[in-house]
Amino acid sequence: MITIFTNPRPFKEPFDRIQRNAISSWLHLDPKCEILLCEDEEGTTKNVAKELGVGYIPEVKTTEFGTPLINDVFKKAQELASYDTVAQINTDIILMNDFPAAVKTVQSLMNNKPFLMVGRRWDLLISELIDFDEQGNWKSIIQKNLLQSGTLHGLSGMDYWVFQKETLNPPGFVVGRPGIDTWLVYEARRQQIPVIDATPSVKIIHQSHNYPNQAKDYFGIEKKRNQKLSGKFQSLSLRDATFLLEKNRLTQPPFPRNIIHKVSLWKTWQVLLFTKRTLRTIISKIL
């Protein structure tokens, strides 16, 4: 079994619809998962958690701007979680039964030893509240739409992180700002915890939307704080995953990823990646 925890935005349109779609899909998973919602900065989550019958974390530490801090989220979610395997998932992600099935497979293959399971997302525009009928027709409708207009996001599109309690304890990153996902991959690799890319086995669906917070003055401040916390070299991606989960087996990544994951923690390689990221940032500002 799994405990899912998440940080919703305030339940206001369009995110009220988007987040209800996501959470409702989690409630329809088989086997059932425990779900914990953290309170948002405007205090709209409590009533939704009660309405949907899911767990609720009333208070987490925030920045002076009201944005949650991931270290306190992880701490409180793991304290409340009923299960040893927990999953931090963004609240715009729709899940289907391939997700808990993959987690169960990884647990078995890893013999309940520590792991970090991550994967790429599929982007899909869903502009209505989904009718979660008991017959499961909603799944076939979404899968059909996914085939017609869905897009597999790049290797940076990580929106879930499955791991064992107490194995990954991030510092005070600001939720919703860059740096958290790549730090978690780095930290798992640093601890020699296998990082498993479940993309071939799991289709998570990201409901496409705008990012209004990026226009706010404090977004840049919080982004810089995350960059400072992650440091120059503590940043890895799905390219650095140790294994792929394919057909209920753990396999080696294909070339060149099978080489990249072996050199991920080499200082020379990290310097080269940092230099590449710095140059890319400079060029984007010039252009």
Predicted confidence (pLDDT) per residue in 158-186, tens digit: 899 999 999 999 999 999 898 899 999 99
| pLDDT at residue number 212 | 66
Task: Find how far residue 123's CA is from the centre of its chain.
Answer: 14
| pLDDT at residue number 170 | 96
| pLDDT at residue number 78 | 98
CA atoms within 13 A on the CB side of 18: 23
Predicted confidence (pLDDT) per residue in 69-105, tens digit: 999 999 999 999 999 999 999 999 999 999 999 999 9
Determine the structural domain holding residue 135 and report its residue range: 2-286
Positive or negative, the Cα torsion across 140, 143, 147, 150?
positive
Average pLDDT over the chain reads 92
**Taking 90 as the threshold, does the pLDDT of residue 276 lie above it?**
no
Enter the tokens of residue 267: 């200082």
Q: 119 Cβ partners below 8 Å, 6+ apart?
A: 158, 160, 197, 198, 199, 202, 204, 238
Q: How confident is the model at residue 248 (pLDDT cuts 50, 70, 90)?
A: very high
Contact 92, 115 (CB under 8 A): no
Which H/E stretch holds residue 45?
helix 45-52
DSSP state of 43: S
Q: How many CB atoms lie within 10 A of CB 78?
A: 21
| Residue 266 vs residue 239, higher pLDDT | 239
Q: How many CB atoms lie within 10 A of CB 262?
A: 13
**Which residue is listed with tokens 């017959």?**
135
Contact 1, 86 (CB under 8 A): no
Q: How many CB atoms lie within 10 A of CB 276?
A: 10
CA atoms within 13 A on the CB side of 172: 9
Contact 208, 145 (CB under 8 A): no
Q: Is 285 exposed, middle or buried (0-12, 13-18, 19+ CB in 10 A)?
A: exposed
Enter the tokens of residue 189: 């690799």
Q: What CATH code is carried by the domain that includes residue 88?
A: 3.90.550.10
What total of structural domains would you count in the chain?
1
DSSP for 50-92, please give it: HHHT-EEE----B-TTS-BBHHHHHHHHHHH-SSSEEEEE-TT
Contact 41, 136 (CB under 8 A): no
| pLDDT at residue number 287 | 61
Question: Rounded to whole angstroms, how far apart are CA atoms 36 and 32?
Answer: 13
- Phi, psi of 178, deg, nearest 5: -60, 150
Query: What is the pLDDT averaged over residues 21-50?
Result: 97
Contact 202, 99 (CB under 8 A): yes
